[in-house]
Amino acid sequence: MAESRNEGNILELDAPTQMLANRLQKNLKTIGKWARQQGISCYRLYDADLPEYAFAIDLYGEQVHMAEYQAPSSIPQEKVETRRHQAKNAVQHVLEIPAESIILKTRERQKGKQQYQVQDRSQDFFKVREGSAELWINLHDYLDTGLFLDHRPIRKFIFENAKGKSFLNLFCYTATASVHAALGGAESSLSIDLSNTYLDWARRNYSLNGIGGQSHKLKRGDCIEYLENNGDKFDLIFLDPPTFSNSKRTDNVLDIQRDHVSLIKNAVNKLNKDGLLIFSTNKRNFKMDTEELGKLLIKDYTHASLDKDFQRSKKIHQAWLISKD
């Protein structure tokens, strides 16, 4: 038995839990060391490395977000509950944190409005730093936390390439990419999303970083409709649509595999001369229709867009840099 003292209590680990703890400790020595060297406080420590413990474990400073991948129906509920208990014990043991600093959620495939549904009403927001930005995180109230950790290199790319440019952020979520664009010197930005909840969150992110005025706008709207009907032009565009959406907020139903060609073409049409589109999707087995997009310059950016903490999960997202021929 291994033991760790947390708030005066002795935490004992059984053999399966110790196996998971050993893996977490190994990852902490490699990924954790890398994160400290890079000045990164929010990163993925573990992503279902051991099949029987199917969790994504993310560190946000001193707090931990555990997302449990939905177990197959063939696994008895009692075993599912046991593994949850073992996984939380392993995290608590290795990181030496109190149990209340660990937030566990079950991740299922989300459709339409489900991605916006409240999981809790704690309103427990706290600040983290990413590069030059400060961002609000909430580990309790929604399925996601307000910050997609896998897109960290993309946000860094945007920060480094936004100076003096106009920036469009489609399906902007909490507008963290727009924060980085503004801090990187973007002349102007427009960030669009259907969710008032996430746009309010984005406003809080803007306020936290001193971003305001008419140069950096947030807009509630249908991104598909905006691309089809608005004539504005931009130097840099970030397009990260959901895999599927049938939100009641719009008549448009989005299927990214079916609709990506029209989305990309419409986004490229909004680029100024020498403008650049960053397109990303987290749909597994997504295939870019390069034949239909043959007149565009398309560079696969996936490898460069994955930091060390996500290189074990190469299907976490795919990304491309796209411009006019």
Mean pLDDT of the chain: 91
Identify whether residues 103 and 229 lie together within a single domain: no
Domain that holds residue 8: 2-108
Among the candidates 108, 125, 159, a domain finishes at 108
Q: Look up the CATH number of the domain holding residue 245.
A: 3.40.50.150
Q: Identify whether 135 is part of a domain.
A: no
Domain identity same for 294 and 191: yes
Q: What is the pLDDT of residues 213-235, one digit of tens each?
A: 899 999 999 999 999 999 999 99
Claim to verify: residue 192 and residue 76 sit in the same structural domain:
no
Q: What is the DSSP code (8-state) at residue 173?
A: T
- Residue 134 gets which letter from DSSP? E
Is residue 166, in this structure, part of any structural domain at all? Answer: yes
Q: Considering 55, 83, 108, which residue would you say is the last residue of a domain?
A: 108
CATH classification of the domain holding 101: 3.30.750.80
What is the block-wise mean pLDDT of the chain (325 residues), using blocks of 10 residues?
41 90 98 97 97 96 95 92 96 96 79 48 87 97 95 98 98 98 98 97 98 95 95 97 72 88 97 98 95 96 97 90 94
| Cα 158 to Cα 160: distance, rounded to the nearest angstrom | 5
Q: Which residues of 147-167 are buried (b: 16+ CB within 10 A; e: fewer)?
A: bbbbbbbbbbbbbebbeebbb
Among residues 108, 123, 142, which one ends one of the domains? 108
pLDDT at 8: 42
Q: Does residue 127 lie in a domain region?
A: no
For residue 82, CA distances in Å to 47, 78, 275 come to 19, 6, 52
Residues 102 and 198 in one domain: no
Measured between alpha carbons, how far is residue 184 from residues 152, 163, 167, 202 in Å? Answer: 14, 6, 11, 17
Residue 231 resides in a domain = yes
The pTM of the full predicted model, rounded to 2 decimals, is 0.90
> How many separate domains does the chain show?
2
- CA 99/CA 92 separation, integer angstroms: 6
Together in a domain, 8 and 98:
yes
Indicate if 234 and 104 belong to the same structural domain. no
Domain check: are 61 and 160 in the same one?
Answer: no
Same domain as 221, residue 170 = yes
pLDDT digits (tens, 9 = 90+) for 49-70: 999 999 999 999 999 999 999 8
Percentages helix, strand, coil for the chain (3-state, rounded to 5) are: 35, 30, 35
Whether residue 192 is found in the same domain as residue 86: no
Within a domain: residue 58? yes
Residue 298: phi and psi, rounded to 5, are -125, 120
For residue range 118-132, what is the model confidence (pLDDT) as tens digits?
A: 545 567 999 999 999
Do 302 and 162 fall into the same domain?
yes
pLDDT, one tens digit per residue, over 263-298 is 999 999 999 999 999 999 999 999 999 999 999 999
Structural domain contains residue 83: yes
| Residue 103 shares a structural domain with residue 189 | no
Tell whether 165 is covered by a domain: yes
**Could you tell me if residue 11 is inside a domain?**
yes
Residues 83 and 230 in one domain: no
